[in-house]
Amino acid sequence: MPDIFAPYLQQLFSRSPTIVACLVGMIVAVSYWKRCPRSALFVCLAMGLFLFTSFVMPLVHLYLIFQGPDALGFRWMIPTFTFAWSVVNAIGMVLLVAAAFTGRSHPALRRFMEDDDYPPITGAPRDTGIQSYGHDRD
């Protein structure tokens, strides 16, 4: 079997931005674990899947390529492998979407700083304290 170590390192180098982003994502998720545990869990699972695809899938891909077209079912192995790789990445993306929307059952209350400068509104909803002259319906 040919040496696949050098091509594997080249593929890892090309995936280094993804690997760094996944590691940073895991660190951030762990730091937010107490604040939002379910979202952090989903992010950690997604980053783990992306790290898995970044390290293991290129190795398997190179192994299949170095086996050559003589291998049994080679014509179907590469497309099947590529599809499986895509499915694992899709699962990671679904986990990230789930993490983004987990625990958002109520809309966030909006409070603006400029509201603190004015006294609270009292009275009936239609009572604005503005008097109109000339129209009875106002």
Residue 92: how many CB atoms within 10 A of its CB? 22
pLDDT, tens digit only, all 138 positions of the chain = 568 899 999 999 999 999 999 999 999 999 999 999 999 999 999 999 999 999 999 998 888 888 776 666 777 888 888 899 999 999 999 999 999 988 766 655 555 555 555 555 566 656 566 655 655 554
pTM: 0.69
Ramachandran class of 123: left when φ > 0, alpha when ψ lies in -120 to 50, beta otherwise = left
Per-domain residue ranges of the chain: 5-102
Rounded CA separation 73/59 (Å): 19
Question: Cα separation of 42 and 63, whole Å?
Answer: 31
Q: What share of the chain is helix, strand, coil (3-state, %, to 5)?
A: 65, 0, 35
The angle, 0 to 180 degrees and rounded to 10, between the axes of the packed helices 37-67 and 16-31 is 160
